[in-house]
Structure 1
């Protein structure tokens, strides 16, 4: 296992962090389901950059490894979802292309399973393919979990793929719901982690 320093992201990290997230999510079944196939890689990177800049850096928290080979983007209990997501909704739908309707229905399907109280929500975590298997994903997730523990609030995420479920269980998450995504999409697992004392 190769470890590296983890730190809060700054504006200087935007482009390499967006590259990492795009590389990590290439071929991910969830993304394939909600983002148009035409010009897919450009759309994917633009969506990841939009989320990183307009949600994570502007309204939440982002951690990166020093080489930006791993990135975690969170919303926090202080994030005003309407103020954060409202202004980018049209751009996100445009980038989703002909999958915009499906993307909206996926959000509707997952919405009832999301926590309603104060939550640290792990919106995206990605590790560059050539750095996977080195513990970097857990390393960039850990500061958000520590912050949730310190605040005494739940951490939450949604994932696709049973391998991911096993990885998140090692970090203390448990499955709260399994959702068959609409329009023939994959299964998604909603996972929650209660705050840990000390």
Structure 2
């Protein structure tokens, strides 16, 4: 695993944009416009670099954005990031629908500190070679060392078996015109 640096930001955003371009949950936020998807990934990268962790494999073929929500702080910079997200990604017409969606999702988050696996992606040309599995194992291990459960959502039903294979479980689902599966290793 290499430490993500500003020099790898574009590469990480490229991988995640390709991996999530057709994701239902991402499209609910920014539509099918690839530039908006790219901007969403940049927003995620910036937040996770500031308030979480950005993972990148040694061969630069897989990456993940993990946020520590309890560490997130409001500043002029984060307000500007949020405004840019509204104007350049979500759009004013979808803003209240997206805010309501995010509120519903957050109502299912654990109350104690946790590691929010916001995005994990593998370069499509190298998928199926265990890169995502190895990366997820590291994320789960890092979270265990920090005594934080891992939490994520997916709208891609095919990914559920992948997460279950790594000890995560579906603990609920939310309907938004598509199913969003709530997945974690949180033990109450």
Give the alignment's TM-score, normalised by structure 2.
0.88
3-state SS of the aligned residue for 1:113?
coil
Query: Residue 59 of structure 2 corresponds to which residue in structure 1?
Result: 67
| Match for residue 40 of structure 2 among 26, 47, 52 | 47
Residue 133 (structure 1) shift: 1.1
Residue 128 (structure 1) shift: 1.5
- Ranges in structure 1 where 5+ consecutive residues have no aligned partner: 1-5
3-state SS of the aligned residue for 1:189?
strand
In the aligned structure 1, how far is the partner of 2:69 from the partner of 2:104?
22
Distance 1:82-1:180 versus aligned 2 partners, 3 A rule: farther
Residues 26-50 of structure 1: CA distance to partner in whole angstroms, max 9, x if unpaired?
A: 111111222134xx11111111012
Query: Residue 50 of structure 2 corresponds to which residue in structure 1?
Result: 58
Distance 1:23-1:114 versus aligned 2 partners, 3 A rule: same
CA RMSD of aligned residues (A): 2.0
Query: Residue 86 of structure 2 corresponds to which residue in structure 1?
Result: 93
The yes-or-no answer on 1:159 pairing with 2:154 is yes
- Ranges in structure 2 where 5+ consecutive residues have no aligned partner: none
Query: Residue 68 of structure 2 corresponds to which residue in structure 1?
Result: 76
The yes-or-no answer on 1:108 pairing with 2:137 is no
Q: Is the 8 A contact 1:8 1:61 kept in 2?
A: no
Residue 166 (structure 1) shift: 1.1
In the aligned structure 2, how far is the partner of 1:194 from the partner of 1:108?
20
Residue 145 (structure 1) shift: 1.1
3-state SS of the aligned residue for 2:38?
helix
Q: Is the 8 A contact 1:7 1:66 kept in 2?
A: yes
Q: Is the 8 A contact 2:23 2:156 kept in 1?
A: no
Distance 1:62-1:129 versus aligned 2 partners, 3 A rule: same
Matched residue count = 184
Distance 1:31-1:150 versus aligned 2 partners, 3 A rule: same
Distance 1:99-1:70 versus aligned 2 partners, 3 A rule: farther
